[in-house]
Amino acid sequence: MSAPLRFDGRVVLVTGAGGGLGRAYALAFAERGALVVVNDLGGDFKGHGKSSSAADKVVEEIRAKGGKAVANYDSVEAGEKLVQTALDTFGRIDILVNNAGILRDRSFVRISDDDWDIIQRIHLRGSFQVTRAAWNHMKNQNFGRIIMTSSAAGIYGNFGQANYSAAKLGLVGLANTLAVEGRKYNIHCNTIAPTAGSRLTQTVMPQDMLDAFKPEYVAPLVLWLCHESCKENGGLFEVGAGWIGKLRWERSLGAIVRQKNHPMTPEAVRNKWENICDFHNASKPHTIQESVSQLNDVLRQIESQDVSPNPTSYRAPAFSTGFDSAKFVGQKLSSTQYEYTHMQPILYALGVGMSTKDPDHLKFLFEGSDGFCCLPTFAVIPAQSSMLDGGLSSVPGLNIDFTKVLHGEQYLELYKPLPTSGRLTSEASIADILDKGSGAVILLDVYTYSGKDLLCYNQFSVFVVGAGGFGGKRSSEKTKATVNPPNRKPDSVLTDVTTVDQAALYRLSGDWNPLHIEPGFAALGGFQKPILHGLCSFGYAARHVLKHFANNDVTKFKAIKVRFAKPVFPGQTLQTEMWKEGNRIHICTKVKETGEIAIAGAYVDLLSTSSQPEVKIPSALASGLQSDLVFEEIGRRIKEVGSELVKKVNAVFEWNITKDKKTAVQWTIDLKNGSGELYRGPARSKADTTFTLADEDFMDLVLGKMNPQKAFLSGKLKLKGNILLSQKLETILKDYAKL
Ligand code: NAI
């Protein structure tokens, strides 16, 4: 058993310790060796009168038990005097419990100035006065523990307690700042909102509650928070009846309601109200810095909007003749957060048909199993809110009719196996908009990060029925293309029956579209009954490949591309035909009952397959830098269109990518000689321009989060050689570094 928490030699000042909670704290501290100043003015609970008897009685009680205590009868408003008693008697002050309090309950309009003022004076000003008097002593000795006493009335509001609520929540604000200011002096300040039977509560609590909610059930929290071994600082706790809970702020993801070059309007606020108040995936900011950084991010996003200053173009319906898709390409959506525990990957695995019937599925279904992991295709879940939850719909001017939207294709590339729990951030942008005649296709690129670590890339192809014919281009080099399977019988086939509740189960992973569960809604969409989510069939197909060719080893999974060709109904049998071509497994998923193709042009890329020797992960990847992925992609593109680039650029670029301020890797992009080349290491011929920057900054640059000019001016990007040539850099990175 760990050692009991002792307070020997510590000097504790408890205000309002003549009764109720304060008395319980004073007795508990004294019992554990503390030297206690028992302060109490000794008036009635409304703040009238005074007497020394309350404090004296508690001091006697402590002394009778062999403890050490001294009384003080001043009002907390005379803070210095209270602290002086501690210094005069015991020579120091270590712990301060601001507890004294009174009530002047009245309905709001009946509160007199006096009722208002006295409550602020005793609770808020009193705590300020005593704390300020103690502060420098604590600072000089590099130790201090302070408790503020708030109330559920302040946190939640309570009829008839406007004055008291204001003061009590004021104390939380005071404590928050003291926690920040005191941290470096080892002064911790925490706040409690207690519930206990006492003189203050006897008018509102029935006798049995008064007896049951003992002050002794609050004191242990106060003692722990005040112990030298407790690291808690700036916390707010509700406590009573033997229960303790911590409170924190939660903030919805919110919505941007302002557009660059447009006035911000109340109508825009109204239109986004649901998003503003939606606590789905809410964040929990802890510091003012976290809070403000969100606003900087918003400014950046608004600044990067490329919208016409002419307000009429904003109102013009999108996708009509003259719709200018170029305006939207490159536009970033608000980043989205996805927080999950082991439950979501398990729910997802069940959603895509995994079952405990298959023993090797256990590692996807039981958090306690050896090698518990996420199915690779779970990576679409954190990213999908960019498409679903107000993502695309929040792009100003892009007026999509969401009843006309179909999920056309999906590409997913995984750079690391997904953690089984955590908090991921997804950054989405519109990669391109295509005109397919009968409809428009929006390519949405979504990068998902864990902290600064890039985990995966998703490309959603969203087909908007009837939105084509605006005169846009039909294809894009940004599309991750589908590939037809080889013209031979499949190498293997796996089948799986979906259950009638498959869609009902899958939707719990976050795609709540009623099309997949509500017959009436499905009928509106022209379906005889609710259909299975395309991404659910996608999950089935991927796990068929993973099982057959990679022994369910998720570290072997690299990427998947599918086109959703026909709907599947829950209860139907999915049959995945597979063709192995090196590390690429082509797939075609059919509905067995009808023979119809549900998933076409699809493939899964594995890093290696179980039926052949392990393929080495490219050495560049092994170095662990995120920028390696981009350089590899640049290398691939140079192989495809190098000579064209040599003509355009005609320069040799050398890169020093740094990690922890040291050069971690060098790359050369030679777009001058032959048909171009990318290689690791310094330039073999003379480099025209040399760039030096950190791995993370390189990623920000490539992903468009950082502007090269600004990076240069701020010193994050260092340039040597022909600086003018660096202007060509933006084109290369934008067009050729797509992961
Ligand atoms: P209590 O009335 O038993 O204790 C408060 C003590 O503070 C009294 O002994 C009183 O004489 C003393 N006091 C009042 N004004 C003073 C002043 N100006 N200077 C020095 N001492 C003064 O009440 P209880 O319930 O023990 O309350 C303690 C604290 O807990 C108060 O701040 C109260 O607002 C807070 N609180 C209590 C709750 C409860 O359920 N008991 C609920 C929420 C908050």
Ligand 1 pocket, residue 26 CB under 6 Å:
no
**Mutation probe of ligand 1 site: the residue of 13, 14, 15, 21 with most atoms within 8 A of C-beta:** 21
Q: Smallest Cα–Cα separation from 335: which of 238, 229, 280, 255? A: 255
Place of tokens 């408790």: 147
Last residue of a domain, one of 578, 606, 634: 606
Average pLDDT value for residue range 533-539: 96
- Is residue 739 in a domain? no
**Residue 637, pLDDT score:** 77
| Shared-domain flag, residues 276 and 345 | no
Ligand 1 pocket, residue 133 CB under 6 Å:
no
Tell me the per-residue pLDDT of 1-48, one tens digit each, with 9 for 90 and over. 579 999 999 999 999 999 999 999 999 999 999 999 999 999 999 999
Candidate from 47-61, 65-79, 80-94, 353-367 with smallest mean pLDDT:
353-367
CB 30 within 8 A of CB 65: yes
**Residue 610, pLDDT score:** 55
**Residue 338, pLDDT score:** 93
CATH of the domain at 713: 3.30.1050.10
Name which residue sits closest to atom 12 of ligand 1, judged by CA. Answer: 16
Ligand 1 pocket, residue 154 CB under 6 Å:
no
> From the CA of 198, how far away is ligand 1's center (Å)?
8
Tell me the per-residue pLDDT of 459-476, one tens digit each, with 9 for 90 and over. 999 888 778 778 888 888
CB 339 within 8 A of CB 419: no
| Shared-domain flag, residues 580 and 626 | no
Across the beta sheet with 243-247, the strand order is 68-72, 35-39, 11-14, 95-97, 144-149, 187-195, 236-240, 243-247
| Shared-domain flag, residues 235 and 255 | no
Ligand 1 pocket, residue 392 CB under 6 Å:
no
pLDDT of 404 above 90: no
Average pLDDT value for residue range 647-666: 86
> From the CA of 200, how far away is ligand 1's center (Å)?
7
| Shared-domain flag, residues 638 and 692 | yes
Report the nearest atom of ligand 1 relative to the CA of 126.
18
Ligand 1 pocket, residue 22 CB under 6 Å:
yes
**Residue 340, pLDDT score:** 96
- Positions marked active-site: 164
Ligand 1 pocket, residue 76 CB under 6 Å:
yes
Residues 6+ apart with CB under 8 A from 476: 431, 432, 434, 443
Residue 280, SS3 per DSSP = coil
pLDDT of 641 above 60: yes
CB 602 within 8 A of CB 560: yes
> From the CA of 242, how far away is ligand 1's center (Å)?
19
**Residue 313, pLDDT score:** 25
Average pLDDT value for residue range 714-730: 77
- Is residue 237 in a domain? yes
Tokens of 422: 């955590």
Candidate from 162-166, 335-339, 357-361, 522-526 with smallest mean pLDDT:
522-526
CA within 13 Å, CB half, 430: 24
Ligand 1 pocket, residue 397 CB under 6 Å:
no
Average pLDDT value for residue range 215-238: 98
> From the CA of 613, how far away is ligand 1's center (Å)?
74
> From the CA of 174, how far away is ligand 1's center (Å)?
18
- Is residue 685 in a domain? yes
CB 210 within 8 A of CB 197: yes
**Mutation probe of ligand 1 site: the residue of 23, 39, 40, 125 with most atoms within 8 A of C-beta:** 40
| Shared-domain flag, residues 67 and 185 | yes
Name which residue sits closest to atom 31 of ligand 1, judged by CA. Answer: 101
Residues 6+ apart with CB under 8 A from 10: 29, 33, 34, 35, 94, 95, 228
Q: For the chain, what is the total number of helices (H) and then of strands (E)?
A: 24, 23
Ligand 1 pocket, residue 240 CB under 6 Å:
no
> From the CA of 429, how far away is ligand 1's center (Å)?
56
- Is residue 723 in a domain? yes
Tokens of 489: 């019988």
CATH of the domain at 82: 3.40.50.720
State the total domains in the chain: 4
**Residue 403, pLDDT score:** 64
DSSP state of 199: T
Name which residue sits closest to atom 4 of ligand 1, judged by CA. Answer: 20
Ligand 1 pocket, residue 199 CB under 6 Å:
yes
Give the amino acid at 521: F
| Shared-domain flag, residues 96 and 225 | yes
**Residue 316, pLDDT score:** 30
**Mutation probe of ligand 1 site: the residue of 198, 201, 203, 216 with most atoms within 8 A of C-beta:** 198
Tell me the per-residue pLDDT of 578-626, one tens digit each, with 9 for 90 and over. 999 999 999 999 999 999 999 999 999 998 765 433 333 344 344 567 8
Task: Please spell the DSSP secondary structure of 585-611, one letter per residue.
Answer: EEEEEEETTT--EEEEEEEEEESS-TT
Tell me the per-residue pLDDT of 485-497, one tens digit each, with 9 for 90 and over. 999 999 999 999 9
| Shared-domain flag, residues 199 and 296 | no
Ligand 1 pocket, residue 35 CB under 6 Å:
no
Given pLDDT bands bounded at 50, 70 and 90, which one contains residue 682? confident
Ligand 1 pocket, residue 626 CB under 6 Å:
no
Q: Smallest Cα–Cα separation from 337: which of 419, 506, 508, 451? A: 451
> From the CA of 695, how far away is ligand 1's center (Å)?
57
What gap in Å lies between CA 472 and CA 703, rounded to an integer? 25
**Residue 305, pLDDT score:** 59
Ligand 1 pocket, residue 98 CB under 6 Å:
no
Given pLDDT bands bounded at 50, 70 and 90, which one contains residue 318? very low
- Is residue 129 in a domain? yes
Tokens of 372: 């518990």
| Shared-domain flag, residues 101 and 137 | yes
Q: Which of 89-98, 543-552, 647-656, 684-693 has the highest mean pLDDT?
A: 89-98
For the full predicted model, state whether its pTM sits above 0.85. no
| Shared-domain flag, residues 587 and 685 | no
- Is residue 640 in a domain? yes
> From the CA of 250, how far away is ligand 1's center (Å)?
30
Q: Which of 117-131, 509-523, 635-649 has the highest mean pLDDT?
A: 117-131
> From the CA of 133, how far away is ligand 1's center (Å)?
20
Percent of the chain residues past pLDDT 90, beyond the cut: 59
Q: Smallest Cα–Cα separation from 59: which of 32, 98, 26? A: 26
Average pLDDT value for residue range 697-722: 79
pLDDT of 714 above 50: yes
Q: Which domain holds residue 341?
A: 334-469+477-606
Name which residue sits closest to atom 33 of ligand 1, judged by CA. Answer: 101
- Is residue 644 in a domain? yes
Can you point out the beta strands (E) in 251-388?
Answer: 336-340
Place of tokens 């928070």: 225
Ligand 1 pocket, residue 102 CB under 6 Å:
yes
Ligand 1 pocket, residue 82 CB under 6 Å:
no
Candidate from 289-298, 444-453, 564-573 with smallest mean pLDDT:
289-298
**Residue 597, pLDDT score:** 95
Residues 6+ apart with CB under 8 A from 542: 375, 376, 377, 557, 560, 604
CB 510 within 8 A of CB 385: yes
| Shared-domain flag, residues 93 and 217 | yes
Q: What is the mean pLDDT of the chain?
A: 88
Percent of the chain residues past pLDDT 70, beyond the cut: 92
| Shared-domain flag, residues 71 and 197 | yes
> From the CA of 208, how far away is ligand 1's center (Å)?
20
CATH of the domain at 398: 3.10.129.10
**Residue 609, pLDDT score:** 61
| Shared-domain flag, residues 264 and 199 | no
CB 397 within 8 A of CB 313: yes
Place of tokens 């890339």: 457
Report the nearest atom of ligand 1 relative to the CA of 102.
14
Residue 565, SS3 per DSSP = coil
pLDDT of 58 above 70: yes
> From the CA of 684, how far away is ligand 1's center (Å)?
79
Report the nearest atom of ligand 1 relative to the CA of 153.
43
Q: Are strands 35-39 and 68-72 parallel, antiparallel or unpaired?
A: parallel
Tell me the per-residue pLDDT of 422-459, one tens digit each, with 9 for 90 and over. 999 999 999 999 988 778 899 999 999 999 899 999 99
Ligand 1 pocket, residue 151 CB under 6 Å:
yes
Tokens of 102: 């009174």
Candidate from 81-85, 287-291, 375-379 with smallest mean pLDDT:
287-291
- Is residue 200 in a domain? yes
Where is 406: in which H helix or E strand? strand 405-414
As a whole number of Å, the end-to-end CA separation of the chain is 54
Ligand 1 pocket, residue 101 CB under 6 Å:
yes
